[in-house]
Amino acid sequence: MTAELERLVLLLSAHGWIIQRSPAPLPLPEELKLRYPWLSPEVEEFATHLGEACRGDEKLWLLTSLDFRGQSGYAFAWNEWERLSIESAQDDAEWIANIRAFWDDHLPIALSVDGGYEYYALRSDHTIVCGREPEFEETADFAHSFAEFLEKLVVLGAREE
The domain that contains 141 carries what CATH number? 3.40.1580
Phi, psi torsion values for 108, nearest 5 degrees: -60, 135
Residue 19 has pLDDT above 50, yes or no: yes
Q: Which domain holds residue 120?
A: 3-160
Band of pLDDT at residue 161, cut at 50, 70 and 90: very low
- Quote the pLDDT of residue 157: 61
Q: For residue 128, count other CB atoms closer than 10 A to its CB.
A: 25
Helix (H, G, I), strand (E, B), or coil: what is residue 60? strand
Q: How far apart are CA 131 and CA 106, in angstroms?
A: 10
Return mean pLDDT, the chain: 93
Q: How far apart are CA 115 and CA 117, in angstroms?
A: 7
**pLDDT tens profile 23-57:** 999 999 999 999 999 999 999 999 999 999 998 88
**pLDDT tens profile 43-101:** 999 999 999 999 888 899 999 999 999 998 888 999 999 999 999 999 999 999 999 99
Our count of domains for the chain comes to 1
Q: How far apart are CA 11 and CA 154, in angstroms?
A: 7
Q: How far apart are CA 124 and CA 108, in angstroms?
A: 11
Residue 160 has pLDDT above 70, yes or no: no
